[in-house]
Amino acid sequence: MPKRILIANRSTIARRIVRACNALDVESVAVYSEADAGAPHLKEATETVALQGVTAMDTYLNQGALLDAMQRTGADALHPGYGFLAENAEFARAVVATGATFIGPSPDWISSMGDKVSARELMAQHGFPTFEASKDVTDAHNALSEAARIGYPVMLKPVGGGGGIGMRVVRDETEMQLACQQTGALAARAFDDARLYLERCVERPRHIEVQVLGDRAGNVVHVYERECTVQRRHQKLIEESPAPLDDRGELDALAQQAAATLSELGYDGVGTVETLRAGSGEYGFLEMNTRIQVEHGVTEEVTGLDLVTAQIRLADGKGLPEIPPMHGHAVEARLYAEDPRTLMASTGRLTRFRPPEMMGVRVETGYIEGQFVTPFYDPLLAKVIGRGHTREQAIGRTLVALRGFAVSGVHTNAPLLMRVLEHPDFLAGTLDTEFVSRLIQT
């Protein structure tokens, strides 16, 4: 077991990792930027290291500064959290080269799954369902040819992308030239990789993902599924487990197939297999995230399994934990600092920030009252997770918690989240990825 873990992240996930370190009796080192000097997890960590600067490039994406902090503090492991460098194979290899443990899968897995085209091909070769797609498209002419083969509409995506960034629906030939130019430029800026690919566009799908755990011996198990269909701009807003589908056998079969495929491949860490489900019931591989997910708490609430401590133990070479059966239901709402009129990030000082304290509600946050929400990072304020014996009870607790979450100094998306949770279609489990877009337009 590592003796001291450096946490190469910030806010909510950094605080969550500190808690896991404490549970394992492992020391934690929290790095922080000048903008995050007042974050609550800094007082909870064993040691802190200031990073010079405020931008992500200067701090949480600064590989040299992070490796130097490891060396200076004697950390023998690094946890990347999510975002930033969590899925950067080069950084993972640099950590391993120092003799320390990178808390994630082997760097080669980060590379192979980070390339969306190769990841799709790998999963398809081993029998996991995929929708029709192209290899890399090098220019608009190549894209037009591939789109004609697949059939419009198509989804144009960055090969090295993630988190829904840069995804774009192209409905006919006239849109393709400009779409390739704009999406390629965005991909080059966001991922330092301008390559694109095309995928059959599934209209109004559900987004269902499977949580998996793999040990260093290549044994893989699943920890059931999460429904992540409620999204805006391809970014998840509300997640839940179990998925509100009538056919439990269908979901179990999907989860078992994901685990079996990755076991055959020898995957060795925590990961999430993301899929789209067409209205016909057909599933297709979307991507695999080789890290802990933002929404991991949903699975923890319906199983009692601590996924972050499991991740640390697996990276240390320990065996797979026993997977408990699911019990009850959990619903998570992502509370963002966001202007409800412009839908842009809202920044400022949190003059009031008082999370609710309720039975059956878990709030994960990296903020405290008086802290500033800056423009330098993702504006996620908190994750509000309601747990109940039934889906209705879990939804109700999440809704009441959002109503009772007192925030002043910035705007939040709480009104939108509450509209979703109260909507008859959501309550009925009648979901698709365009649900929020239609709701906003009404």
pLDDT score of 138 more than 80: no
Asked if residue 266 and residue 407 are part of one domain, the reply reads: yes
Characterise 163 by phi-psi region: left (phi > 0), alpha (psi -120 to 50), beta (else).
left
Characterise 80 by phi-psi region: left (phi > 0), alpha (psi -120 to 50), beta (else).
alpha
Strand partners, 168: 156
- Domain contains 91: yes
Instruction: Categorize the per-residue pLDDT at 421 as very low, low, confident or very high, splitting at 50, 70 and 90.
Output: very high
Asked if residue 330 and residue 185 are part of one domain, the reply reads: no
What CATH number should be reported for the domain holding residue 149?
3.30.1490.20
> What pLDDT, on a 0 to 100 scale, did the predictor assign at position 163?
66
Of 335-344, 356-365, 404-413, where does mean pLDDT reach its minimum?
335-344
Give me the chain's average pLDDT, please: 95
- % the chain with pLDDT above 70: 100
CA–CA dist 399, 422 (Å, integer): 8
What CATH number should be reported for the domain holding residue 82?
3.40.50.20
Task: Tell me if residue 291 is catalytic.
Answer: yes
End of a domain among 176, 200, 224? 200
Asked if residue 148 and residue 53 are part of one domain, the reply reads: no
Task: Give 304-314 pLDDT, tens digit per residue.
Answer: 999 999 999 99
- Domain contains 112: no
Please state the pTM of the whole predicted model.
0.94
Number of domains in the chain: 3
- Domain contains 366: yes
Task: Give 210-230 pLDDT, tens digit per residue.
Answer: 999 999 998 999 999 999 999
> What pLDDT, on a 0 to 100 scale, did the predictor assign at position 340?
77
Asked if residue 57 and residue 167 are part of one domain, the reply reads: no
* Catalytic-role residue among 291, 313, 334, 397: 291
Average pLDDT over residues 32-46: 97
Average pLDDT over residues 373-377: 96
- Domain contains 125: no
Task: Give 223-267 pLDDT, tens digit per residue.
Answer: 999 999 999 988 999 999 999 999 999 999 999 999 999 999 999
For 208, list phi and psi in degrees, rounded to 5: -125, 130
- Domain contains 122: no
> What pLDDT, on a 0 to 100 scale, did the predictor assign at position 263?
97
Burial class (CB in 10 A: 0-12, 13-18, 19+), 442: exposed
Task: Give 181-219 pLDDT, tens digit per residue.
Answer: 889 888 888 787 888 999 999 999 999 999 999 999 989
Task: Give 292-348 pLDDT, tens digit per residue.
Answer: 999 999 999 999 999 999 999 999 999 999 999 999 999 999 999 998 778 889 999
- Domain contains 190: yes
End of a domain among 200, 231, 254? 200
Asked if residue 165 and residue 217 are part of one domain, the reply reads: no
Average pLDDT over residues 130-141: 87
Q: 436: closest CA among 293, 237, 241, 271?
A: 237
End of a domain among 181, 200, 219? 200
Asked if residue 341 and residue 299 are part of one domain, the reply reads: yes
Average pLDDT over residues 359-381: 97
- Domain contains 437: yes
Asked if residue 228 and residue 185 are part of one domain, the reply reads: no
Asked if residue 31 and residue 97 are part of one domain, the reply reads: yes
Asked if residue 236 and residue 188 are part of one domain, the reply reads: no
Range of the domain at 152: 132-200
Asked if residue 280 and residue 184 are part of one domain, the reply reads: no
- Domain contains 285: yes
What CATH number should be reported for the domain holding residue 280?
3.30.470.20
Residues 234-261, buried b or exposed e (16+ Cβ, 10 A)? bebbbbbbbbbbeeeeebeebbebbbeb
Asked if residue 266 and residue 170 are part of one domain, the reply reads: no
pLDDT score of 164 more than 80: no
Structure tokens at 418: 């509450």
Asked if residue 150 and residue 13 are part of one domain, the reply reads: no
Instruction: Categorize the per-residue pLDDT at 9 as very low, low, confident or very high, splitting at 50, 70 and 90.
Output: very high
